[in-house]
């Protein structure tokens, strides 16, 4: 349990960070007199990503989850369609497609990285396969991404990037979120750039642009009407309320403006963890996640892998007793109470292994030098303790 009340020296897993002008921009949004969605700040945020990443269209959403749900609607996923999804991910990656009646075919992780192992995809295809959802864990693409795009083209499959964690990351000089037909970013409180809850649908295949705007605006042509492109504002398709209010967009705009500073700070903290913990990894006591050559990381996650589950749980307890909140995630979706009975019984050993052994250390903009030292010393202390099972050999 997290101690209550929080001790003064408590180091949380995440602390929201104000870069500066967030509250001023919210004040400006109020002064502009339009608080509903698709106003000035929403437009600024969307144009920022469209120009920075060179994508056909970007739409702000209420969450990364909402962006994935829009993707499933846009692709017209029907009951019985099969969608390939990694098991080691957040529920929304699969849920967005389950809501449309899709059957989820879960794929295992890479042996050396939590990302989906793309070498299996060809063996999972059936005539009902419609789409593959890629999760860029910790802002890193899967090995073999470009080969998968070729395979998808041969088989007429849609590729959706769950780029919830991947803002500002690149592969071969190209931003993640620009490889699939559609992509979803998240601006949840724990992500690099945040508006509390928020997300963005990125449309790389411009055939989806016009319909995306309609789904986003509750099935109406409201956006086109306000641009003077439609004579009447009316109900033209299915849809929902996927757009956030201007208050959220104003907050997000402040974070977008500071995106380079945010990334620099995370990089600095990330590299300090890596430098301090590489010697421990060299002893074999822990493993660190490898970097894909050609990939530009975004420093979203600092994770280490313990040798087994008991040791991982003991490390988390050791940290918590010293008032540091580190966390593990994800429980494999193919074993979840909701989906286990519908999974086809294939074993996914790597996904299960990350669920048992992965630890994420606190990594956020305002983590101080002194706090980070304490996290590092506490992890090292665990392995130097006189408990022989944990001692680094
Ligand atoms: C955070 C996250 C989501 C969900 O994003 P929300 O904005 O919280 O809805 C989906 N997938 C992955 C991989 C995530 O990390």
The CB density around residue 305, as the number of other CB atoms within 10 Å, is: 18
Element (H, E) at 182: strand 182-186
Q: Which CATH architecture has domain 259-384?
A: Alpha-Beta Complex (3.90)
Q: How far apart are CA 308 and CA 303, in angstroms?
A: 15
pLDDT of residue 297: 96
Q: pLDDT band at 4, cuts 50/70/90?
A: confident
Report CA(218)–ligand 1 centroid distance (Å).
22
Report CA(321)–ligand 1 centroid distance (Å).
29
pLDDT tens across 149-206, in order?
A: 999 999 999 999 999 999 999 999 999 999 999 999 999 999 999 999 999 999 999 9
Q: pLDDT band at 63, cuts 50/70/90?
A: very high
Number of Cα atoms under 13 Å in the Cβ half of residue 342: 15
Report CA(48)–ligand 1 centroid distance (Å).
21
Q: Which of 64, 66, 196, 331 to mutate to test the pocket of ligand 1 (most atoms within 8 A of CB)?
A: 64
pLDDT of residue 389: 58
Closest atom of ligand 1 to 92 CA is 10
Closest atom of ligand 1 to 191 CA is 1
Q: Is the pLDDT of residue 386 over 80?
A: no
Report CA(165)–ligand 1 centroid distance (Å).
7
Question: What percentage of the chain reaches a pLDDT higher than 70?
Answer: 97
Closest atom of ligand 1 to 198 CA is 7
With a Cβ cut-off of 6 Å, ligand 1 is lined by 63-65, 89-90, 92-93, 135, 162, 164-165, 186, 188, 199
Residue nearest to atom 8 of ligand 1 (CA): 188
- Any idea of the CA torsion for 349, 352, 358, 362, to the nearest 10 degrees? 140
Q: pLDDT band at 68, cuts 50/70/90?
A: very high
Closest atom of ligand 1 to 89 CA is 13
Closest atom of ligand 1 to 63 CA is 7
Q: Six-digit token pair at 143? A: 């090995």
Q: Is 363 helix (H, G, I), strand (E, B) or coil?
A: coil
Q: Which of 13, 16, 65, 197 to mutate to test the pocket of ligand 1 (most atoms within 8 A of CB)?
A: 65
Q: Rounded mean pLDDT of 264-284?
A: 97
Kindly report the average pLDDT of the chain as a whole number: 96
Q: Which of 14, 89, 92 to mutate to test the pocket of ligand 1 (most atoms within 8 A of CB)?
A: 92
Q: Are 72 and 95 a contacting pair, CB within 8 Å?
A: no
pLDDT tens across 91-110, in order?
A: 999 999 999 999 999 999 99
Q: Is the pLDDT of residue 65 over 80?
A: yes
Burial degree of 389 (CB within 10 A; 0-12, 13-18, 19+): exposed
pLDDT of residue 25: 98
Q: Are 316 and 13 a contacting pair, CB within 8 Å?
A: no
Q: How far apart are CA 237 and CA 235, in angstroms?
A: 6
Burial degree of 259 (CB within 10 A; 0-12, 13-18, 19+): middle
Q: Are 187 and 200 a contacting pair, CB within 8 Å?
A: yes
Domain boundaries, the chain: 22-257, 259-384
Q: Where are the alpha helices (DSSP H) in the chain?
A: 22-32, 40-53, 64-74, 91-98, 121-124, 145-155, 209-216, 222-226, 246-257, 259-282, 309-321, 349-357, 369-384
Describe the crossing of helices 22-32 and 40-53 by its angle, rounded to 10 degrees.
130
Closest atom of ligand 1 to 165 CA is 15
Domain spanning 22-257, CATH class: alpha beta
Q: pLDDT band at 6, cuts 50/70/90?
A: confident
Of 370, 273, 279, 374, nearest to 323 by C-alpha is 374
pLDDT tens across 99-138, in order?
A: 999 999 999 999 999 999 999 999 999 999 999 999 999 9
Q: Six-digit token pair at 153? A: 């083209």
pLDDT of residue 53: 98
The pTM score is: 0.96
pLDDT of residue 287: 97
């Amino acid at each position: 349990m997290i101690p209550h009340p929080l001790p003064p020296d408590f180091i949380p897993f995440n602390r929201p960070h104000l870069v500066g002008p967030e509250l001023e921009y919210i004040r400006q949004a109020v002064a502009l007199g339009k608080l509903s969605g698709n106003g000035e700040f929403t437009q600024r945020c969307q144009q920022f990503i469209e120009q920075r990443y060179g994508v056909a269209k970007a739409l702000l959403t209420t969450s990364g989850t909402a962006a994935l749900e829009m993707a499933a609607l846009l692709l017209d996923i029907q009951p019985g369609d099969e969608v390939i999804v990694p098991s080691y991910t957040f529920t929304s990656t699969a849920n967005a497609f389950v809501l449309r009646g899709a059957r989820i075919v879960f794929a295992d992780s890479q042996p050396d990285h939590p990302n989906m192992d793309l070498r299996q995809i060809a063996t999972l295809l059936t005539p009902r396969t419609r789409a593959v959802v890629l999760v860029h864990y910790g802002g890193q693409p899967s090995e073999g991404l470009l080969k998968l795009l070729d395979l998808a083209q041969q088989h007429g499959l849609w590729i959706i990037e769950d780029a919830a964690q991947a803002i500002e990351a690149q592969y071969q000089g190209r931003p993640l979120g620009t490889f699939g037909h559609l992509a979803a970013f998240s601006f949840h409180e724990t992500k690099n750039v945040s508006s509390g809850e928020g997300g963005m649908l990125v449309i790389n295949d411009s055939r989806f642009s016009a319909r995306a705007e309609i789904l986003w605006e509750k099935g109406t042509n409201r956006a086109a009407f306000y641009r003077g492109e439609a004579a009447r504002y009316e109900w033209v398709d299915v849809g929902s309320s996927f757009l956030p209010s201007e208050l959220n967009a104003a907050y997000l705009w402040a974070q977008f403006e500071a995106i380079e500073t945010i990334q620099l700070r995370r990089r600095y903290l990330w590299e300090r963890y890596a430098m301090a913990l590489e010697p421990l990894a060299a002893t074999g006591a822990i493993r660190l996640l490898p970097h894909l050559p050609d990939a530009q990381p975004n420093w979203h996650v600092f994770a280490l892998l313990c040798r087994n589950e008991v040791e991982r749980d003991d490390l988390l307890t050791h940290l918590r007793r010293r008032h540091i909140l580190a966390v593990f995630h994800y429980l494999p979706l193919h074993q979840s109470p909701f989906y286990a009975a519908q999974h086809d019984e294939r074993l996914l050993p790597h996904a299960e292994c990350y669920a048992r052994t992965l630890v994420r250390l606190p990594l956020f903009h305002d983590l101080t030098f002194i706090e980070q030292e304490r996290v590092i010393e506490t992890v090292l202390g665990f392995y130097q303790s006189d408990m022989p099972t944990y001692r680094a050999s």
